[in-house]
Amino acid sequence: MDNKKISILIVDDEEYFRQGLRTLLGFYSTSASYPMNIVGEADCVEQVVKLAIQKIPDIILLDLELVNSDGIIAMERLKEISYSGQVLVLSAHQEDKWIFQAMQKGASGYVFKSRVANQLCDAINTVLRSEIYLPPEAASGFFRCFQENASSVYKASSQLHLTEREQEVLQLLTQGASNNEIAKNLYVTVATVKAHLTNIFDKLKVSSRTQAIVAAIKLGLVQA
């Protein structure tokens, strides 16, 4: 990130938890290779949208339970205003349906609040690379729901005319593989991987790796 400050918006309806995050992010900021700057705090959807427009944060740390609403609606509103940053969900909800729904709505990662001290730094680093962050305990729940829902939408692959190799690239992409790792796995050059990704982005009508992963998840284009 060229040592620029990473701007972060904290969204949670509990003041003591927001305070804890401020302390944790302050510690990360002094020990990480780049500083973090908290540009605002919110506890309801209206504040989230307002601050996202005003501050354009790189990352929004989003709780799923907000004042008079929830984080799922917040993500829908953020999509409406074309928010281009990353949404990292921090939630006490560990149920499969919450994890699956959050990722469907465009979250770049999901962290259980009970593990936030151990996982938040890694999660932030991951989403800043435009990759998906799902720790094992969240990933298993997500894929359980994914398997239950994939059968009804799996035919989307043929409708989008993805080639077999493009499907393989997309599968590896959703597993968090870098271009170099995809190239080594498929025994092709990095340039070839980039060409496949360009075709995949065009067919999915997306412009980034994160958007491609989310689209693939929604359409059932990848398997657990």
pLDDT at 48 (0 to 100): 95
Give CA 120 to chain center in angstroms: 13
pLDDT at 153 (0 to 100): 45
pLDDT at 64 (0 to 100): 92
Separation in Å, CA 80 to CA 87, 157, 197: 14, 26, 25
CATH number of 6-142: 3.40.50.2300
C-alpha–C-alpha distance, residues 136 and 138, integer Å: 5
For residue 107, count CB atoms less than 10 angstroms from its CB and return exposed for 0-12, middle for 13-18, buried for 19 or more.
buried
The pTM for the full model equals 0.66
C-alpha–C-alpha distance, residues 166 and 186, integer Å: 11
pLDDT at 109 (0 to 100): 92
Domain boundaries, the chain: 6-142, 151-219
pLDDT in tens, the chain (224 residues): 456 789 999 999 999 999 999 999 998 888 766 689 999 999 999 999 999 999 999 999 999 989 888 899 999 999 899 998 999 999 998 888 888 888 888 899 999 999 999 999 999 999 988 888 988 777 777 776 666 665 544 555 556 788 889 989 998 998 888 999 999 999 999 999 999 999 999 999 888 888 888 888 777 777 54
CATH number of 151-219: 1.10.10.10
C-alpha–C-alpha distance, residues 84 and 96, integer Å: 26
pLDDT at 33 (0 to 100): 63
- 91, 97, 100, 103: CA torsion to nearest 10: -40
pLDDT at 154 (0 to 100): 52
